[in-house]
Amino acid sequence: MKLIIASNNNHKITEIKQILSPWFADVISMGDAGISLEVVEDGQTFVENSLKKAREVFDALGGIYAVLADDSGLSVDALSGAPGVYSARFAREHDDAANNEKLLSLMKDIPDGKRSAKFVCVVSLIRPDSEPLVVRGECHGVVARSLSGSRGFGYDPLFFVPELGKTFSQLSEGEKNAISHRGRALALLRDALERESE
């Protein structure tokens, strides 16, 4: 079955393709499927936004293809869970530099022992004649005091994983996929697909 990824984020699409391509004959982006759709992410939770994106793209494609959508973001304990569902537009819409600058500013007086954070990813898969599959993955770390690394996107340069001694931006794609919130959510989705096929 063909899988359409309900995203125009090339970094995200690459990650999903690497992890899920064995399960689908063809994995393509919304753009490759000829869909130009701006879904308004007005949900209060990652689950609401993820399901809304998947359903709207699924309907736009006539309900004949599998559609996968995710909603993800950074939840910082010292900021009561912010930026959360507003991660991509924390300072300015899809402006990674501005978002990271705002986060650093808000965290500048937070001591090292209280900089805990987690990346959260909720993935929704909608297919013809099947109930939606919804899974959640998390990765715990801390907010660094400065940007480090050149890979990844979003808050990756500030998300430090103590066990590895690196930020997400300093990890290889393979290292990141093995522990990331999206990698963990997609692994759970893969497990669910495996159970279905048994």
Q: What CA–CA distance (Å, rounded) separates 193 from 105?
A: 42
C-alpha to C-alpha distances, 66 to 50, 59, 61, 132, nearest whole angstrom? 14, 11, 9, 10
Distance of CA 105 to the CA centre of its chain: 24
Is the separation of the CB atoms in 160 and 167 below 8 Å?
Answer: yes
- Pick the closest to residue 33 from 7, 55, 9, 72 (CA basis): 7
- Cα gap 143→113, rounded to integer Å: 10
Give the type of residue at 27: V
Residue 35 CB coordination number (10 Å): 16
Compute the radius of gyration of the chain from its Cα atoms. 17
Q: What sign does the dihedral 25-30-31-34 (CA atoms) show?
A: positive
Distance from C-alpha of 157 to C-alpha of 49, rounded to nearest angstrom: 25
Catalytic residues, which ones? Answer: 71
